[in-house]
Amino acid sequence: MKPKYRMGTFPTLFAALSLTFAGFAAAAGDEPITPIKAPTGIHQGKAELGKKLYFDPRLSKSGFISCNSCHNLSLGGTDNLPTAIGDRWQQGPINSPTVLNSSLNLAQFWDGRAADLKAQAGGPIANPKEMGFTHELAVNVLATIPGYVSEFRHVFGKDKIDMDQVTEAIAEFEKTLVTPNSRFDHWLRGDEKILTADEKAGYALFKKSGCVACHNGEAVGGNSFQKMGLVEPYKTSNPAEGRSAVTGQDAERFSFKVPTLRNVELTYPYFHDGAAHTLTEAVNLMGRLQLGKKFSTKENAQIVAFLKTLTGDQPSFALPILPPSTDKTPRPVPFD
C-alpha cells in the first residue's frame, strides 16, 4: 500500500525542505564537488569477514601477498610504488589505484573492465602477476580453516564456501573504506574558516582552469573515462592502452578512468604508469596536457594546497586476527 500524506503536512514539509535547500545553497553554492557521505546499509557480518579476507595472505600462492600488500590501508590504500610488485617479485604492469572510496567509481580498474567491486575482487587472487593463485585453491585453503568455515556459514547460511561469497564479503568491506570529514568537506558544509587563503585560491583555480570538467562529484573523479593527453600527447613507455582495450573503440585509446583526487596527498606516485612522483609534477602535467595551461609556481602551489584539503578520515579499526591454518591446510608456495 502506498503511504498517504495528510494534506496538512504538506506546507510544513515544503517549508522545512526549502529551508534545508536554502541552508545548503548558502553553504555549498552550486559546487561541482560534494561532500563524502558515510556509507549506509553495510552488512556488518559480511564486512567483518571481508576485512579478514582483505588482510589474509593465504589467498595468494606464496602465502605472503594480501590485498593490503598493494592497497595498504596504512598508506592511503595504495603501495606508493610506480607499479605494483606481485608474486615472485614480478613487476606489475600498472599503478595500484587506491581502494579508498572505490565504491564511488563508475567501474573498477584504470580501464573500467570490472563493473563493480564484487566483479573486481576475484581478479587479483588468480592474476599470475598479483597473488598468483587460483580461485579453486583459495577456496580450498579457506575450507580447511574451521574459523572461516563457521564464519562463512554464519554470514551466508550455506554449507560450502565458494568464490561468490568470498568476493561479496571483500566488496562489502571495501564499501566501508570511504573517507568523510576532509577539511574541504567541512568547508563545503559551511565552515568558512577551515581553509587558508591559498587553499581557497587553489580551489578557485581548479574550477576556473577547467580541472572540474573531469574531476568532480563526491569522489572528485571516478565518474568518467577521459583521454590522457587531450591537448598534448602524454609520453610514456607503459603499454597500457586504456579504455579501448575493453570497448575495442579506437577513439577510446588512451582514455582512462579519471582517478579520484580524494586523499591524493597520500596516493603518490601518480598516473596509470606511476611516473609523476609529486603533486607539483602531476598538477603541472595535467595543466599542460589536459588544458593547454601553464601554471606559475605560485598557482601550482595553491592548487596543490587545495588538493591536500581532500584528505579525509582514514579507515580505522582493530587489525583483524585471522583464524589459524590446520594440518589439512595446503602449504604456501613462496619459492619455485
Is 130 a known active-site residue?
Answer: yes
Closest approach, Cβ 146 to ligand HEC, in A, equals 22
Q: Which residues bind ligand HEC (CB under 6 A)?
A: 65, 67, 69-71, 84, 86, 92, 94, 96-97, 99, 102, 105, 108-110, 117, 120-121, 124-125, 130-131, 170, 174, 206, 209-211, 213-215, 226, 228, 230, 256, 258-259, 261, 264, 267, 270-272, 282-283, 286-287, 290-291, 303
The three cell numbers locating residue 63: 602465502
Taking the least distance from each CB to ligand HEC, the nearer of 67 and 201 is 67
Q: Which is nearer to ligand HEC, 18 or 278 (CB)?
A: 278
CB-based contacts of 255, cutoff 8 Å, min separation 6: 225, 226, 227, 228, 242, 243, 244
In DSSP terms, which residues pair with 78 in a beta bridge? 72
Q: Is 17 or 115 the residue whose CB approaches ligand HEC more closely? A: 115
Q: How far is the CB of 29 from ligand HEC (least distance, A)?
A: 20
Q: How far apart are alpha carbons 286 and 291 in whole angstroms?
A: 7
Question: Which C-beta is closer to ligand HEC: that of 172 or that of 185?
Answer: 172
Closest distance to ligand HEC from the beta carbon of 132 (Å): 9
Reduced to 3 states (helix: H, G, I; strand: E, B; else coil), residue 150 is helix
Q: Which residues neighbour 123 within 8 Å (Cβ) at sequence distance 6 or greater? A: 114, 130
Nearer to ligand HEC, 61 or 186 (CB): 61
User: Is residue 293 exposed (0-12), middle (13-18) or buried (19+ Cβ within 10 Å)?
Assistant: middle
d(CA 30, CA 79): 35
Q: Pull the grid cell for residue 228.
A: 590522457
- Whole-number Å distance between alpha carbons of 254 and 245: 9
CB of 12 to ligand HEC, least distance (A): 43
Q: Helices marked H in the chain — which ranges?
A: 9-28, 44-55, 67-70, 117-126, 135-143, 146-156, 163-175, 183-188, 197-208, 244-247, 279-291, 297-307
Cα distance between residue 288 and residue 266, in whole Å: 23
Who's near 317: CB < 8 A, 6+ residues apart? 51
Nearer to ligand HEC, 63 or 97 (CB): 97
Spot the catalytic one: 31, 48, 130, 218: 130
CA 259 to chain centre: 8
Q: What is the C-alpha separation between 258 and 106, in angstroms, rounded?
A: 10
Q: Output the smallest distance, CB 194 to ligand HEC, in A.
A: 21
Catalytic positions are 130
